[in-house]
Amino acid sequence: MSATTRTDHALERLVFFSDAVFAIAITLLVLELKVPHLDKGSPDRAYLAELANLIPSFAGFIISFAVVGVFWMGHHRAFALAARYSNRILGWNMALLGVIAFMPFSTAFFAQNLNQHVPAIFYCATMLAAGALNMVVVRIATGPDMVDPEADPAMVRYARGRSLAVVIGAVTALVLAFFIPAYAQIGLASIGLWRRLLTSRPTQLG
């Protein structure tokens, strides 16, 4: 096995491990949804009422699923541009995975205590930590140590711009959380807006 093959293999195994953590964290989000238990013979509207009570939890599940999904896609996109492995990325990537693995907790805390400052701020701070670590990971993966020399520079700029948009979106959500906590997650939707301002989408995406 040549040195090149071996470092490629290290990169592949890192990507695999990261994918697994993302996949597990995203699927564990559902475990925080508690199944309602009703007495036998409860009327249909009692069941509907229980489901209605769960709407904030469902919304939290959907938004966090989308958020972890966006982080995974960004990770996916950045590593597709990398061709070499560097030990520099290992610690930052582990820290990012740690925050991603922590998301089911933050999501449940927020969704079960809607319209409260502390859980909303805590949720958005988690998001900001993930966004900041993600930005570092993306920058290393698309930086001189790791980037594929043949990678399209427009794609590199796009991947980096996206990662910055996520950070600014998280800051927006964090600021909103101080004023209208129930709608803090809406701040995350601004990620799309920031991305549009910060990046010009390359025509062909890898």
Contact positions vs a copy of itself (CB under 8 A): 1, 3, 6-7, 9-10, 13-17, 19-33, 35-38, 42, 44, 47-48, 51, 61-62, 65-66, 69, 72-73, 76, 80, 83, 85, 87, 90, 94, 97-98, 101-102, 104-105, 108-109, 112-113, 116-119, 122, 148, 150, 204-206
**Nearest distance, CB of residue 188 and a copy of itself, angstroms:** 15
Distance between CA 125 and CA 12 in Å, rounded? 30
Instruction: Return all residues near 69 (Cβ < 8 A) that are at least 6 apart.
Output: 26
**Nearest distance, CB of residue 48 and a copy of itself, angstroms:** 6
Q: Which of 23, 186 has the CB closer to a copy of itself?
A: 23
Q: Which of 20, 193 has the CB closer to a copy of itself?
A: 20
Distance of CA 178 to the CA centre of its chain: 21
**Nearest distance, CB of residue 135 and a copy of itself, angstroms:** 20
Distance between CA 34 and CA 36 in Å, rounded? 6
Q: Which of 48, 186 has the CB closer to a copy of itself?
A: 48
**Nearest distance, CB of residue 12 and a copy of itself, angstroms:** 10
**Nearest distance, CB of residue 81 and a copy of itself, angstroms:** 8
